[in-house]
């Protein structure tokens, strides 16, 4: 009589136990890499940096956050990089299964060595090598849409299952959408620079295909003064390719970028050589152009010549009567006159090997020991230290001065921009 009640109670009890077991199973199922066996899938576009990977540390049977998207013009292949990582605590192998070709899209799977494993992945039988905890392998997934309407989408789902525990799995979706072909290109803009007459200035450039299709860009340059040539940043002669620093061995002319995939760049240099006759302040404007199918980009740089501009200004005064320096001075026989030569570099670059020679004026006799080099405009004080300013002496019928920092006996030194030196000597009027 009471049996049905007992049966009902038993059913309730069993249901309660089942619910508890289910709850226990749910609690025991890890949502992070704390399981003995756990595959982990992550993906990025082939052209992206590793920082663009999505999916590490996330495990989904029905991907909601684990997806990667690309848009492709019809007829062109795009590639994903799919990383399979052992996120468990024990060595494991993982079986991969993925969507194959269909609906106007061709799908290929390539193993880490580049071998085509499409058939095995599509059949769900491809298995990785034994991976230690934290170890991973990378497969390529190539998707090529045929001639389809713009906006057509194709989703490739890839799953990984632990060979040791089939309940441990992860899944990732890779989506490709067809788009129109939009050509576009960018070129970097290095800052303007300066150069010396006859010298060369190197400008590093990068041309990047930012369109949706592959493209090839012809490279050209021209300068308003001097010459310009484009050189590949190819690491020739033992240098480092693409480092933006021209090495001595990098001499190959860059006339084209070659075929660039979307997002791919090409590095080269524009070497501008200024005319040997250019003077301080002259400029040369160089235009660099990249021209491809349906897209062109250009940049201009201005190279300014920096050169010394040395001037000499002569003046004289009647030393016997006193007074200031001027272009001419009256003096009677027997009186002493003092000559001053003002040497100034008003250019933008140091003057080197500075030597001044001046003949003695007629009808005068040099006062011995009166020749000196100084920074004083009135000639007072002691002469400069020869290593700092130079030295001067009389010989024959004239004055010879070897001026500037580092000057020596018979060798001119350097006169920095904006610096002035004075050469003085005295003579008695005959």
pLDDT tens digits, one per residue of 293-328:
999 999 999 999 999 999 999 999 999 999 899 999
Distances (CA, A) of 206 to 220, 230, 243, 407: 13, 12, 11, 45
User: What pLDDT, on the 0 to 100 scale, is given for residue 14?
Assistant: 27
| pLDDT, tens digit, 9 for 90 and up, residues 395-424 | 878 999 999 999 998 999 999 999 999 999
Give the tokens for residue 335.
């009186």
Q: Are residues 149 and 218 in the same domain?
A: no
**H or E segment at 325?**
none
**Residues 34 and 175 grouped into a single domain:** yes
**In which band, very low, low, confident or very high, does the pLDDT at 52 lie, cut at 50, 70 and 90?**
very high
Shared domain check, 140 and 43: yes
Specify the pLDDT at position 212: 82
- Same domain for 164 and 142? yes
Average pLDDT, the chain: 90
Question: Do residue 65 and residue 157 come from a single domain?
Answer: yes
Four-CA torsion 320, 326, 327, 329, nearest 10 degrees: -30
pLDDT score for 166:
95
**Domain limit, last residue, from 256, 285, 305:** 305
Q: Which of 59, 57, 24 is nearest to 165 (CA)?
A: 59
Domain finish residue from 179, 200, 220 = 179
Residues 163 and 205 in one domain: no
Domain closes at, from 249, 276, 305 = 305
- 3 located within any domain: no
Same-domain check for residues 102 and 168: yes
Do residues 200 and 217 both lie within one domain?
yes
Position 213 scores a pLDDT of 83
Same domain, 214 and 272: yes
The answer to whether position 12 is within a domain reads: no
Q: Out of 237-241, 252-256, 284-288, which region has the weakest mean confidence (pLDDT)?
A: 237-241
Q: Are 173 and 156 in contact (CB under 8 A)?
A: yes
Q: For residue 34, what pLDDT is reported?
A: 56
354-392 burial, b for 16+ CB within 10 Å, e for fewer?
Answer: bebebebeeebebbeebbbbbeeeebeeebbebeebbbb
- 298 falls within a domain: yes
> What 8-state DSSP symbol labels residue 349?
S
pLDDT one-digit tens code per residue, 142-200: 999 987 888 899 999 999 999 999 999 999 999 998 888 889 999 999 999 999 999 99
State the alpha helices, DSSP H only, in 251-339.
Answer: none
Select the more confidently predicted residue: 326 or 47. Answer: 326
State the CATH number of the domain containing residue 398. 2.60.40
**161 and 267 housed in the same domain:** no
- The count of structural domains within the chain is 3
Instruction: Kindly report the three-state secondary structure assignment for every residue of 143-157.
Output: EEECCCCCCCEEEEE
User: 50 and 35 in one domain?
Assistant: yes
Q: What is the mean pLDDT of residues 63-89?
A: 91
CB 397 within 8 A of CB 327: no
Domain range for 50 is 28-179
CA dist 206 and 217 (Å) reads: 12
Q: Are 125 and 102 in contact (CB under 8 A)?
A: no
């Amino acid at each position: 009589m009471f049996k049905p009640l007992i049966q009902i109670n038993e059913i309730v009890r069993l249901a309660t136990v089942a619910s508890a077991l289910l709850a226990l199973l749910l609690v025991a199922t890890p949502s992070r890499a704390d399981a003995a066996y756990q595959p982990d899938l992550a993906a990025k576009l082939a052209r992206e940096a590793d920082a663009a990977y999505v999916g590490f540390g996330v495990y989904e049977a029905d991907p909601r956050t684990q997806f990667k998207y690309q848009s492709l013009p019809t007829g062109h292949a795009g590639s994903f990089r799919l990383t399979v990582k052992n996120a468990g605590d024990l060595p494991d192998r993982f079986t991969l299964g993925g969507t194959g070709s269909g609906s106007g899209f061709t799908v290929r799977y390539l193993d880490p060595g580049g071998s085509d494993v499409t058939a095995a992945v599509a059949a769900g039988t491809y298995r990785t090598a034994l991976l230690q905890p934290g170890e991973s392998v990378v497969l390529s997934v190539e998707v090529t849409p045929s001639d389809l309407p713009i906006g057509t989408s194709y989703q490739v789902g890839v799953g990984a299952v632990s060979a040791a525990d089939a309940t441990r799995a992860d899944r990732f979706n890779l989506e490709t959408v067809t788009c129109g072909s939009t050509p576009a290109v960018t070129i970097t803009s290095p800052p303007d620079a300066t150069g010396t007459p006859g010298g060369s200035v190197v400008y590093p450039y990068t041309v990047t295909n930012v369109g949706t299709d592959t493209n090839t860009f012809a490279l050209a340059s021209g300068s308003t003064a001097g010459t310009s040539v484009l050189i590949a940043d190819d690491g020739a002669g033992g240098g480092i390719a693409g480092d933006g620093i021209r090495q001595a061995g990098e001499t190959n002319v860059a006339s084209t970028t070659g075929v660039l995939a979307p997002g791919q760049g090409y590095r080269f240099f524009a070497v501008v050589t200024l005319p040997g006759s250019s003077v301080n302040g002259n400029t040369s404007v160089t235009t660099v152009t990249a021209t491809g199918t349906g897209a062109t980009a250009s940049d201009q740089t201005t190279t300014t010549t920096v050169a010394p501009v040395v001037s000499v200004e002569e003046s004289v005064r009647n030393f016997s009567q006193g007074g200031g320096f001027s272009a001419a001075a009256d003096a009677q026989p027997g009186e002493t006159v003092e000559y001053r030569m003002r040497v100034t570099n008003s250019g933008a670059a140091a003057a080197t090997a500075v030597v001044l020679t001046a003949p003695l004026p007629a009808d005068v006799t040099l006062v011995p020991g009166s020749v000196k080099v100084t920074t004083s405009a009135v000639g007072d004080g002691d002469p400069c230290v020869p290593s700092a300013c130079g030295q001067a002496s009389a010989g024959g019928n004239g004055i010879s001065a070897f001026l500037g920092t580092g000057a020596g006996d018979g060798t001119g030194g350097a006169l920095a921009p904006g610096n002035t030196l004075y050469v003085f000597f005295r003579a008695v009027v005959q």
